[in-house]
A and B are shown apart, each in its own frame.
Chain A
């Protein structure tokens, strides 16, 4: 058997040879600096942004020490709790993250919530630099009456539920209705729609949680409408995900041909990705052979939520009132404007998938409430020396893992550049993890190391084997900790 090795961390970096400390030139100082101070960086958040930032830093400098602090006892962020269970190939990035985590100059401290257990100020005292990579733990709200009725969920919670996010384990969505409406037309909306309509025989072989599988087995949802505020040419999802919808067995597309009139004319001027996506949708509309499959999915366009309609008791969702929009302008930047008309859609389940949202974690960290990001210039947090950011908290909650990877590499490069130019102070020795772990001890917080996570991992894989699935996730933080420390 041929072993494929990837050893990026050990590769001689082209950069490394030309890099050296930018300490003042007095020999005595240089001696001190060489002995005393290797750059110590800590990263807040163990998702793709955290791991890709760490990877680049470790590779570029052989003296760099990187510690990753993660709120949960388990690493990998949305790769574990976001990426759909039927997309296991996307999760292959975990292999590279694991390699980074096992690097001798990298440590993982799970079960540590920054902003609660330790402040960012304290991290800044203990490290030369702090990188915020804590993702987007909140979600945008529709901001319409009835949003809190039973049967209305944010996609974030719904996804967290089927993916085993501890805080969503009790969601228990009622799937006894026939029609579900998903608001928003991004890839998350399609993930949700696909999970609702996928054959159980297929899902049961994925790492979807057993409790979600049980609910889905009893689900009566037969029709999922995916509603967007703009038109077919502005749809936010990508072609691979639309193709997956089209290829769902025993399910056909229920589109409104009228929505696609005039679209064919626009095709020729579109860039290739948008063109291919639009052509695929057009083909799907045409293919409609009138035969109704057991289940349906469809896009609905030019509709914005106005009000969630309740059942007679006023407790549970029964539908959604939508504003009928028209477009102002064209192309990607076209805006939706209300026409004044409305339309009601009946549904017993409403999932709002209009985007995740980052939250401020610590009063000492700048935060822009309009963009819900940490204000920054290429990853340098504005007006705060020694503070950096990467991933969704830097850019906002869009972009695939590859996008997050690129912007994390950018942040790492900027940080390295600041080390070289002297903009980042390395002269004082920093205690790093030693200081933080003793703080944590006085506060009664016990971190989970990477090898302790591996115990959880093994247990999950073991539980999965019995069920003929890749893993069965542990849903409870306490249980995770018990396994980690067993």
Chain B
């Protein structure tokens, strides 16, 4: 794992995977999962709920296990990356420094819908079940389709090898209007 370029300089906070859990504030001091007991029942509930779709499988030998993911960015260009099973698609975007403006604003805590992705129908059917909470946020996504999901809730598995996902336009008018004004 490379700790390249701009490792985050955060106010007393390093963004470990464990901080990508619902109900964890930017301004909470760094905590680990062991502090779960300090969270409210509601928070624990949320965490448990997320665990249904989140990736608990730890892959010991990542390099042998890579999954190919093709992203189509907002300019229609295809970007192909190799990623580890067990990672969410948000993890992949972050780790591979993919340049999708504003992607993943809430850092995977089901609070923003900026990680919206559109899947091919076949792939969509293979994805895990969708929680009410994910649907709730997805309903706020711009350009919602029948095969939309939130990237922070999708875990890579070997079965998804070679899939293609599209990063949707983030708003209606920007691109079209760029030329005209």
Interface residues of A (CB under 8 A from B): 1-14, 52, 56, 87-96, 98-99, 102, 201-202, 205, 207, 238-240, 243, 247, 249, 272-273, 276-277, 377-378, 380, 400-403, 405-407, 409-410, 413-414, 417, 454, 457-458, 460-461, 465, 468, 470-471
Contacts and interface: CB of A to CB of B under 8 A. Distances in A.
A196 B7 CA distance: 40
Nearest to A470: B28
Nearest to B9: A102
Contact of B140 (A9, A377, A402): A402
B181 A378 contact: yes
A201 B40 contact: yes
Contacts of A402: 102, 105, 112-114, 140, 142, 170
B95 A4 contact: yes
Contacts of B13: 95
B95 to A, nearest CB: 7
B4 A461 contact: no
Given A202-B40, A205-B40, A413-B174, A471 B132 contact: no
A52 B8 contact: no
B6 A87 contact: no
17 contacts: A4-B95, A5-B3, A5-B15, A7-B5, A88-B24, A88-B27, A89-B23, A89-B106, A92-B25, A92-B106, A93-B26, A96-B105, A249-B41, A407-B171, A413-B174, A461-B29, A465-B29
Most buried by B among A10, A102, A402, A461: A402
Contacts of B113: 402
Say what secondary structure dominates the interface of chain A. Answer: helix
B63 to A, nearest CB: 15
Contact of B16 (A3, A93, A401, A405): A3
B51 to A, nearest CB: 16
Interface string B89-119: 0010011010101101111011111100000
A189 B81 CA distance: 44
B42 A247 contact: yes
A245 B62 CA distance: 42
B11 interface: yes
B22 interface: yes
Among A405, A407, A471, max chain B CB count under 10 A is at A405
B6 A99 contact: yes
Contact of A5 (B42, B94, B139): B94
B102 A95 contact: no
Contact of A400 (B25, B26, B140): B140
Nearest to A13: B99
A378 B178 CA distance: 9
B12 A461 contact: yes
Given A14-B75, A89-B109, A458-B12, A410 B171 contact: yes
A243 B23 CA distance: 16
Contact of A276 (B27, B104, B135): B135
Nearest to B181: A378
Q: How many interface residues does chain B have, given as a range? A: 35 or more
Contact of A11 (B15, B99, B105, B144): B99
B144 A273 contact: yes
Contacts, number: 195
A447 B40 CA distance: 39
**Closest 5 A-B residue pairs measured CB to CB?**
A88-B25, A7-B6, A89-B109, A273-B139, A94-B26
A407 B101 CA distance: 12
B120 interface: no
B91 to A, nearest CB: 7
B17 A417 contact: no
A202 B132 CA distance: 22
Given A95-B13, A405-B105, A202 B42 contact: yes
A413 B178 contact: yes
Contacts of A52: 102
Given A7-B6, A92-B25, A417-B178, A2 B1 contact: yes
Nearest to B75: A14
Interface in B121-163: 132-133, 135-137, 139-140, 142, 144
Contacts of B27: 88, 91, 94, 207, 457, 460-461, 470-471
B10 interface: yes
B56 interface: no
A89 B167 CA distance: 23
Q: Which of B39, B105, B133, B140 has the most CB of A within 10 A?
A: B105
B173 A4 contact: no
Contact of B136 (A5, A93, A238): A238
A278 to B, nearest CB: 12
B139 A239 contact: yes
Contacts of A410: 171, 173-174
Query: Most chain-B CB neighbours within 10 Å: which of A10, A96, A407?
Result: A96
Contacts of A202: 40, 42
B102 to A, nearest CB: 5
A94 B10 CA distance: 9
Contact of B11 (A1, A10, A240, A457): A457
Contacts of B97: 5, 7, 11
Contacts of A238: 136, 139-140
Given A10-B6, A405-B114, 6 more contacts: A1-B17, A4-B8, A10-B5, A93-B26, A247-B42, A402-B113
